[in-house]
Amino acid sequence: MLVEPSELLAALRLPLASQLDVEPLGLALDAPDEVVIRTPDGGEMVVLVRRSRESDLAENNIAVLERLNASGFRYAPQLLAVLDGAAVEQEVQGVRALGIIPPDGSCEAAIDALAALHTLPVREGLRWGTSPADLFPEGDVPLHRLGFTATERDVARPLFAAARDALLASPFGFCHGGSIATNVLLLPDAAQLVNFEQAGYGPQLLDVVAFLLTMGLYAEQRRDLALRYARARSLEPDPTADLIDLLGISWGISEQLVLPRRLIESYGDELTVSALRTVAGRIDEGMRDPAGRHPVAAGIRAALWQ
């Protein structure tokens, strides 16, 4: 268990005679613990204890949750306590968006949650004071590591540079920073965002990209949700949806490039490895299947996959 049971009960002001059932949500060292607490009077409480192996990320999750809770943001869990660098969060009802058929209205609710997050007047988390150009410096995308030929790379190189320019011109501000399907909980007509370790300053449209591509949705569904996000943010709907589709390619390529390292780091944790492979397959399919009409996206697809 990530924290001492007696300290957890004391922090939650629960009787020390309470019974705790602990289930790690994965085999990784920093996998969160789901803790079911049954009190002597028959009551029950379920909490999630989360602590990253990297202390700065654990602290960032705590700081962002505190700020979101204080702001009344309803799409994030309540932070109940902090113990030895671990966040004790109110367990959120719902199922993770990976490996399920989304409940009716849940994807729309997740998009609404991201739009609401992006409009918060919050300056909390990582990367504040960094410019967009510093976050995404110039340089060739190492497509050779993914098996693309020299000819394909030569055609794609200026197109990826154009995609970077489009990203730098997109909205930057407070964002989740890791809104892949494993960090979104879905319910009928509702959704919750969890795990704010990477939250802070960054490109907000990449939050939308990460969610849409890792959900495994059809192109038409991805475009409808991108249009919904644009309208919620008072952005031009069609150009924004086209841009989200374009950024999905550059974001997806960057995720494919770091996949081997993540698989090695997760060796022995079959649940995590399976989730990584599922996400990678969804990203690959989504990058190839157009959900927009951006000419740069069309050019990249023609260069790499046709």
Residue 287 corresponds to which tokens in the numbers above?
A: 């990058």
Same domain, 112 and 256: yes
Q: What is the pLDDT of residue 275?
A: 87
- The CATH number covering residue 10 comes to 3.30.200
Q: What is the pLDDT of residue 164?
A: 98
Of 90, 112, 141, which one is at a domain's C-terminal end? Answer: 90
For tokens 């990678």, the residue is: 280
Q: What is the pLDDT of residue 95?
A: 75
- pLDDT mean over 201-226: 97
Over the stretch 95-124, which tens digit does the pLDDT of each residue have? 777 767 899 999 999 999 999 999 999 999
Same domain, 295 and 235: yes
Indicate the range of 38-52, 96-110, 157-171, 245-259 predicted with least confidence. 96-110
Same domain, 166 and 265: yes
Residues 6 or more apart whose CB falls under 8 angstroms from that of 294 comprise: 166, 242, 243, 245, 246
- pLDDT mean over 246-262: 95
Q: What is the pLDDT of residue 99?
A: 66
* Pair type for strands 86-90 and 79-83: antiparallel
- CB count within 10 Å of CB 181 equals 24
Residue 110, domain extent? 95-305
For tokens 């009409």, the residue is: 293
Q: What's the pLDDT band for 266 if we cut at 50, 70, 90?
A: confident
Nearest CA among 32, 42, 108, 26 for reference residue 75: 108
Q: What's the pLDDT band for 265 if we cut at 50, 70, 90?
A: confident
Of 72, 90, 108, which one is at a domain's C-terminal end? Answer: 90
Q: What is the pLDDT of residue 34?
A: 92
Of 70, 90, 110, which one is at a domain's C-terminal end? Answer: 90
Pairwise CA distance, residues 162 & 141, whole Å: 12
- pLDDT mean over 130-151: 96
- The pLDDT > 70 percentage for the chain reads 99
**pLDDT over 90 at 269, yes or no:** no
Q: What is the pLDDT of residue 179?
A: 96
Over the stretch 29-81, which tens digit does the pLDDT of each residue have? 678 899 999 999 999 999 999 988 889 999 999 999 999 999 999 999 999 99
Nearest CA among 76, 105, 104 for reference residue 90: 76
Same domain, 246 and 107: yes
Buried b / exposed e across 150-166, counting CB within 10 Å, b at 16+? eebbebbeebbebbbeb
Nearest CA among 246, 238, 115 for reference residue 173: 115
Same domain, 147 and 249: yes
User: Any long-range contacts for 74-82 (C-beta under 8 Å, 24+ apart)?
Assistant: 75/113, 75/116, 75/117, 75/191, 75/192, 75/193, 76/192, 76/193, 76/194, 76/196, 77/48, 77/192, 77/194, 80/11, 80/12, 80/47, 81/8, 81/11, 81/12
Q: What is the pLDDT of residue 30?
A: 72
pTM exceeding 0.85: yes
**Phi, psi (5° rounding) for residue 147?**
90, 10
Specify the number of domains making up the chain. 2
Same domain, 253 and 136: yes
Same domain, 153 and 242: yes
Q: What is the pLDDT of residue 29?
A: 67
- pLDDT mean over 190-218: 96
Supply the Cα-derived Rg of the chain in whole angstroms.
20
Around 201, how many Cα atoms within 13 Å sit in the side-chain half-sphere? 12
